[in-house]
């Protein structure tokens, strides 16, 4: 029983230690969404959906079917 209580107390202290900046210093938690994170934007990382949209637009403008020849 003592070991269980000690384990619970240690885990509680660990959680408190990890949450110290958020709980006591009132710092904001860093934004985890790629599209909203300033640091990610600085290095050029974008959301997967945004990258997909950009790539689809590139392909659409690159492919022009006016000069397609049918080979028989």
Q: What is the pLDDT of residue 7?
A: 97
Going 60 to 65 to 70 to 71, the CA torsion angle's sign is negative
Q: In 10 A of CB 43, how many CB atoms?
A: 7
| pLDDT tens track, the chain, 72 positions | 899 999 999 999 998 888 887 777 776 767 777 777 788 888 888 888 888 888 888 777 666 665 667 777
Task: Indicate the Cα dihedral angle 47, 52, 54, 60, nearest 10°.
Answer: -170
Residue 48 lies in a domain: yes
Residue 57 lies in a domain: yes
Q: What is the pLDDT of residue 10?
A: 97
Domain span at residue 8? 1-28
Q: What is the pLDDT of residue 13?
A: 92
Number of domains observed in the structure of the chain? 2
Q: What is the pLDDT of residue 39?
A: 80
45 and 21 in a common domain: no
């Amino acid at each position: 029983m003592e070991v269980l209580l000690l384990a619970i107390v240690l885990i509680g202290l660990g959680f408190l230690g990890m949450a110290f900046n958020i709980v006591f210093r009132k710092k904001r938690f860093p934004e985890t969404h790629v599209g909203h994170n300033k640091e990610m934007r600085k290095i050029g990382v974008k959301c997967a959906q945004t990258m997909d949209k950009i790539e689809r637009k590139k392909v659409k403008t690159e492919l022009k079917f006016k000069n397609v020849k049918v080979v028989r």
